Structure 1
Amino acid sequence: MPAITIDQLRPGHVLQEDVVNLHGRRLAAAGTVLTEAHLRTFKTWGVHTVQVHPSASPQETPPPLPEAFLEHARHATKRFFTRNDTRHPLVRQLAHIYYSRILKRGELPPAPPPIPEGPAITPPPLDQLLGQRIELASLPDIFTRIIEALGKPNASASYLAELIQNDIGLTTRLLKVANSPAFAGPRRVETVSRAIALLGTDQLCRLAFGISLVSLFSHIPQELLDMPQFWRHSIACGILARLLAIQAKMPASEAFFLYGMLHDIGRLIMLTHEPDSARAPLALEARRPHGLLDAERHFWHYDHTQVAAAVLQAWKLPDHLALPVALHHAPGQAPDIPAAAIVHLADALAHISLHGGSGVQALPPLDIAPIERLGLGEGFVHTVMPQLDAHIDEVMHLFFHHAE
């Protein structure tokens, strides 16, 4: 069968030959039954034509969804956007995408897990919380040394290579990242030194920090929050932050992956060190979705962004990393820090993508003015969302399947 264009491809077509990108990296093997994810990947990598088996016909158009389901989807969308003004064009566009994704999945967003009842325990004041619960000395040595390296932009490549190579697990996972299309090019990377040469010391240091962070928060009670879904949301936010930074022509756009991945670290801190206090806001948001941030302030007298700011400062992380995380719910307070607006928008897009969740049942209010100042132009949402869909599973695999 002659080659057909990417626009003619449909889920269900079977590849007759391998599909490779311009660098020669194989994207899909001959015999693969194509899915929507494959089609998105091909478009992301600029594939124009492919060879398919003539005998294999694409899947038929699915039957129309029942009207009752459509009504439930409309209600779920209205409920999720209850704290935003859908008369604004951007908000209206996001609501439409959210609704369309529900229909495409054919199922409603999952309900939050039932959180066991318990007393609403007020945590200690923030300064006491840091002193009593969160001590840098209690962190793994590799983590503290990576934090120190993040605070030293002039850290040498040889120092970083030696630091990472002393941790076999971290080395293995970083090399997997360095060999992935999501973060690097087509060349095979077999050593940490080579990874540093390709990605740079800053980028590799940030990735090492992100990988170590996953291990640091691996014991959060599942009864409080679906942690695989939480991490999927965080990774989605990181991918989107990086893509948006590229769209906005921001310098050092690769740094934005870590900004997005870290955006809810304050909530992780509370879930780890004050699980009984973290329970009440999540339970209230599950019952009555009027804003998890407001629920935190009601029960704690501060919120997870303030926890993040205090912890990142205590860890002596540089402001360029800490401020986008601390201000991602209030980018209007930092007009000179566009990275905060990038993470703010990435968080919203991650929520409407339906890739994971952070306990939020109603989309936090979008701060439109800082988003508009980014100058992203029309169509940016339709540019970044397919790329997220194409890469999210791969990046999740890189960060969470380290035993392979």
Structure 2
Amino acid sequence: MTASPADIDSLSGLIPFSECNDDELIVLADHARVIDERKGYVLAELGSTDEWDYYLLKGTLHLVSDDGKVLEIRAGTEAARHPVAHLQPRKYTLQAQTAVQFLRVKKALLVSLKYAPGRQVCMLVEDDEHHGLGVHPLYTEIYDDLLNDRLVLPSLPDIAVRIRQLIDQEEASVQQVATLVQVDLAISAKLMKIANGALYHGLRPVDSCQQAISRLGLESTRNLVVGFVLRNLFKEKIHTALLTRHAQHLWEHSVEVGAIAQVLAEVTPGMSPDEALLVGLLHDIGELVILSYAENYRELAEDRTALERIIVELKGELGGIILHEWGFSEAFVTAAQEAEKWSRDPAPEPDYCDIAMVAQLHSFVGTTKMQHLPKLSEVPAFCKIAHGELTPKLSMKLLDQAKEQILEVRQLLMS
């Protein structure tokens, strides 16, 4: 192996580095290496996880999937302008078919560029890699729309946007927020129902929207309003009968995960229960985009296996893009991108992605889906909940004790 520093010319034609100016490229070049390797060299193994992304500069690579199918990537093609097989754990073994030259760069650099201000950079390059592996054309349509800034994203309903903007202003008062909330009588009624619900059992009942918001707090109100309007968003975006049922099941799952996440956050220091509820509601939002595109492919409505494969591949990246566009914090973006990376363990302290991950596993208990997932005790995120003092039995007991609260959340968000 021979390695040398990267130069501006080798970076400027690659995505997302092509979006950078010369000064940025100079800095980036210091963190990337150009490597020459022999035929037969393995850059990465199927199922492996590491800190690197690779770009093919010269030669030919073979990507070998778990079923033995082979895809060829050649230097100079459009696919080579993107990081090769960037999803982790790796979905392919990357092996040099000829002598090769490739650029190796830390994934953290690409993550920092992905949502840089003013940039709309797509990281969904494994669409190109799947050509020849029997992938549905929906992959290509979404990928092309992302690259050309045509992706059709859902808009957060106006009432939620206005309330978020008002509450994010430091001088916002409860009275101002109540005046705005009362424009939507259904939302106002639901906030009052929560303020008089199981979580506040024993307190004097509230009889006005303003009193409800005062009890809940402005941040909780902001998050709950978004949760209330999301259900309509799931209903309005999909029109095909079979896909409508899929969207309904998706919303039911999101509500279940959100309700469980709220309970888990209550016993985990540093976590806001209402924030955790909203993280749970939004963790699969990327799937909604895929379903809206899938309406143009009637056969997908009945081919559940093909649709699920597309969803698994794309929903994380799409969810991160949507939540970034909606102005949500990095905690929400990370949860959308990584809530099904079961071996994820970035820090000893828990974050909202950990909460969403454990909530998902709990939501699958008793279903066939759990047969293909790790046990709670095998997931690093579970060991961080409640100071790491929970066992699987204790966590199930905790949720059983909170069943009235969980049921109340379900009823409010499903009605």
Q: Specify if TM > 0.5.
A: yes
Counterpart Cα distance in 2 of 1:380 and 1:391: 17
Deviates more, 1:170-179 or 1:260-269: 170-179
| C-alpha deviation, 1:329, in angstroms | 1.6
Matched, 1:327 2:342: no
- Within 5 Å, which residues of 2 pair with 1:374-393? 374=385, 375-378=388-391, 379-387=393-401, 389-393=403-407
Paired AA for residue 394 in structure 1: E
Aligned residues of 2:320 and 2:337 also touching (Cα < 8 A): yes
Asked if 2 retains the 8 angstrom alpha-carbon contact of 1:150 and 1:318, the reply is: no
Q: 2: CA distance between counterparts of 1:376 and 1:278?
A: 48
Q: TM-score, normalised by structure 1?
A: 0.57
Match of 1:253 in 2: 273
Alignment of 1:3-402 (within 5 A): 120-122=137-139, 123-125=141-143, 127=146, 131-134=150-153, 136=155, 139-149=156-166, 155-182=172-199, 186-219=203-236, 220=238, 221-224=240-243, 225-276=245-296, 280=300, 283-285=303-305, 292=308, 295-296=310-311, 302-330=313-341, 332=344, 334-335=346-347, 338-352=351-365, 363-365=372-374, 368-374=379-385, 375-378=388-391, 379-387=393-401, 389-401=403-415
**How many Å separate the matches in 2 of 1:278 and 1:384?**
43
Question: Quick one: percent identity of the two aligned structures?
Answer: 22
Structure 2 CA distance for aligned equivalents of residues 169 and 371 of structure 1:
36
Q: What is the identity, as a one-letter code, of the residue corresponding to 2:197? A: S
Q: Unaligned 5+ residue runs, structure 2? A: 1-135
Q: What RMSD, in angstroms, separates the aligned Cα atoms of the two structures?
A: 3.5
Is 1:353–1:385's contact at 8 Å kept on the other side of the alignment? no
Contact 1:160 1:205 in 2 (8 A): no
Q: Is the partner of 1:329 in helix, strand or coil? A: coil
Identify if the C-alpha distance between structure 1 residues 222 and 152 changes in structure 2 by more than 3 Å, giving closer, same or farther: farther
- CA deviation string 1:256-313 (max 9, x = no partner): 11111211111123223443469749835389xxxx4x5436xxxx521111110010
5+ residue gaps in structure 1?
1-118
Change in Cα spacing, 1:315 to 1:228, as seen in structure 2 (3 Å) is closer
Q: 1:195 to 1:256 in 2, by over 3 A?
A: same
Amino acid at match of 1:283: D
> Shift of residue 386 of structure 1?
1.0
Structure 1 Cα separation of the partners of residues 164 and 203 of structure 2: 29
Task: Tell whether the 8 Å contact from 1:207 to 1:258 is kept in structure 2 after alignment.
Answer: yes
**Which entry has the higher C-alpha Rg, 1 or 2?**
2
SS at match of 1:370: helix
> Relative to 1, partners in 2 of residues 1:185 and 1:161: Cα closer, same or farther, differing over 3 Å?
farther
Supply the distance in 2 between the matched residues of 1:212 and 1:237 (Cα, whole angstroms).
17
Residue 306 and residue 165 in structure 1: after superposition, are their counterparts in 2 closer, same or farther (change >3 A)? Answer: same
Distance in 2 between residues matched to 1:278 and 1:247, nearest whole Å: 45
- How far apart, CA to CA, are the structure 1 residues paired with 2:168 and 2:298? 30
In the other structure, the counterpart of 2:131 is none
CA distance in structure 2 between the aligned counterparts of 1:176 and 1:199, rounded to whole angstroms = 11
Distance verdict in 2 for CA 1:135–1:352, change over 3 Å: closer
Distance 1:274 1:252, change over 3 A: same
Contact 2:228–2:413 (CA<8 Å) still a contact in 1? Answer: yes
Contact 1:120 1:280 in 2 (8 A): no
Aligned to 1:303, the other structure's residue is in SS state: helix
Q: Aligned in 2, Cα 1:372/1:140: closer, same or farther, shift over 3 Å?
A: closer
DSSP-derived class of the 1:217 partner: helix
Deviation at 1:236, TM superposition (A): 1.5
